[in-house]
Structure formats: structure tokens, C-alpha cells
Copies of this chain bind each other. A is one copy, B any other.
Amino acid sequence: MVNEQIVITDVGPRDGLQNQPIILDVGQRLQLIDAIADAGVSSIEVGSFVSPKAVPAMRGTEDVFAGLSKANGVRYTALIPNMKGYERAVAAGARAVTMVLYASDGMAKKNVNMSMLQADRVTADILTRARAEQIEVTAIIAVAFDCPFDGPTDPAVVRASTANFLSLGANQVVIADTIGAADPQQVRSLTADLVSDNGAARLGCHFHDTRAMGLANVFAAVESGVRRFEASIAGLGGCPFAPGASGNVATEDVVMMLEQMGFATGVDIKALLRASDIAEQLTGTALGGRAKPWLQKRMNKQAG
């Protein structure tokens, strides 16, 4: 599998920043996004079109889109909660949007005050319109392994939802371990079923490192044939008050592992570490992927 490609979407500027105690202004958010793009990450979630009251950190995502470097071929996507969010995204110039599906009623209720099926219907409607308008759609299935309200997720629910939204024409369905509860055996089993059901081309995975199993879960999904992953620069995300304990799996860790395994991610790890430093400086939190101290040491050695 030498040089087989893996596509990484960095969700730090959205999933990461919205969980930080410090709110960045548009210029700072663009600085971070540009640094990630400069490292060669070809897909970045740059914001969300939700209510600025509900998520103050994502205020001004229109201005973020206005300020993006457009010539570099990067796929910029934004999270949208509903049709109004979709319209705001398209008006702002987004050519790709991300929507959240739920694999439990408890999480759907808590997040959007709907049932799973109601949330599915909202997403299906947006998807129909987005296809007509040639806007790319990623559907994220939240709590695909475990839900803080409803407990362990039935894999059959995830399989049905994945098949459904792929058949409806979603460009990508991403299986998300939203609370970082999955172990690699569960991941291996579910992703093998999903690849067998649908092929791997439009499947992605999103892991958190809460229980330190982030990279193990990435590897398990790779073994099943998954070639798309979401990750967050510097491991941004999760609870900012327990550094290292939570957060998304760090982009630098995922890139390091996959490149060592012989995959082509297109990412320059040295430039990515600079983006990671910027994330730390801007958020005022010493984050960094788990492997960052080792990576820095290697870089210094190569420079010396």
C-alpha cells in the first residue's frame, strides 16, 4: 500500500476552537486556517453557520470565508445545523457543507431537540437541495459507538444510516466517536461492516483521544480499508481544562503514523508543527499532539 492516499480533514478551526475558553477573532482564525493549508492539508473545516449566541466562538464565519486563500485548491467546509445555516453557508461562498446525524435519540434530543429520524429528515432535505446546487455534503454520524445519554450505540443503526445517506448522494459519511469511547476492536468491527456494505471510497472516521486510543482507532479503521479521517491540529477540542485527557485526535499524530505506515497524506509534518504552534499560541493552551515532543526533537535533529 506504499503511497496509497489518505485524505485528512482538519476540523481544528471549528470543532477545536468552539471548545476553547478563549474566543479568537476572524483574523486569528484565518491565521490558523492558512497555516494548516500551507502544511498541505487539503480539506479544512473552517467554521459553522450556527447561532452566534449558542456558539460565540463561531461568530463571523461569513468573514472567515471572505478571507480564505482560494487559489490553493483546499476544500473548505463549514458545519451547518439546518436549512438556514445551509443558505448562510452558500451565500458566504462555501462549496462544501457538513451536517450532523445522530445514532441515538438522546443525543439528537440534547443537541437539536429532535428525534434521530427528525434530524435525518432535515439532513435529507438539505442534501437534496445541495445536490441540485452542486454543493458537496459530508454527513457526520455522531455518537456512532457510545452515547452519554443512551449508552452503547447499536451498530445496526449506524449501518442503516450510513447506507441511507450514501444512497441519497452524500459525498462522504463520517463515523464519529463523539465522546472518545470506542476501542479499536469495536472500530475494526463496525468499519469492516461499513466497508463491506458500501465500499470505502466515501467513508470517513472521526476519533477523539479521550482514552488515549485515538491512533489505535485510526489504525483499526485503516485495516478495514477506511482512507478518510478527520483530525484536529494540536489535538484542539474537547475539554480545555484537562490537557492531554480529551480532545480530537491530533492531526500531527495521525499524519506521522500514516506517513510512517507508507501512506501519502500530502502533508508536510514540519509545516504542520508550525500550525500546531500557532494553535497553541492563539488559544493560550499547551496542547500539541501526543507525539509532538518526539516530532520536535526529530525536526531539530534534521535541522542540526
Contact = CB atoms under 8 A, between A and B. Distances in A.
Interface of A: 180, 183-186, 188, 209-213, 215-216, 218-220, 222-223, 242, 244-246, 253, 256-257, 260-262, 289-294, 297
A294 B179 CA distance: 11
Residues of A contacting B: mostly: helix
Contact of A290 (B218, B244, B292): B244
Contact of A212 (B211, B220, B290): B290
A71 to B, nearest CB: 34
Nearest to A259: B183
Contact of A293 (B223, B244, B260): B244
A291 B181 CA distance: 11
A294 B184 contact: no
B262 A185 contact: yes
Contacts of A211: 256-257, 260, 291, 294
A260 B291 contact: no
Contacts of A184: 215-216, 219, 257, 261
A245 B290 CA distance: 7
Given A180-B294, A188-B223, 17 more contacts: A183-B260, A184-B216, A184-B257, A185-B219, A185-B222, A185-B262, A212-B253, A212-B294, A213-B291, A216-B219, A216-B257, A223-B223, A244-B244, A244-B293, A245-B292, A245-B293, A290-B290
Contacts of A261: 183-186
A184 B220 CA distance: 9
A70 to B, nearest CB: 34
Contacts of A260: 183, 211
A219 B257 CA distance: 14
Nearest to A290: B212
A246 B213 CA distance: 16
A290 B211 CA distance: 7
Given A183-B257, A185-B262, A261-B185, A294 B246 contact: yes
A285 B246 CA distance: 21
B262 A293 contact: no
Nearest to A250: B212
A257 B260 CA distance: 23
A235 to B, nearest CB: 10
Nearest to A185: B261
Nearest to A182: B260
A281 to B, nearest CB: 20
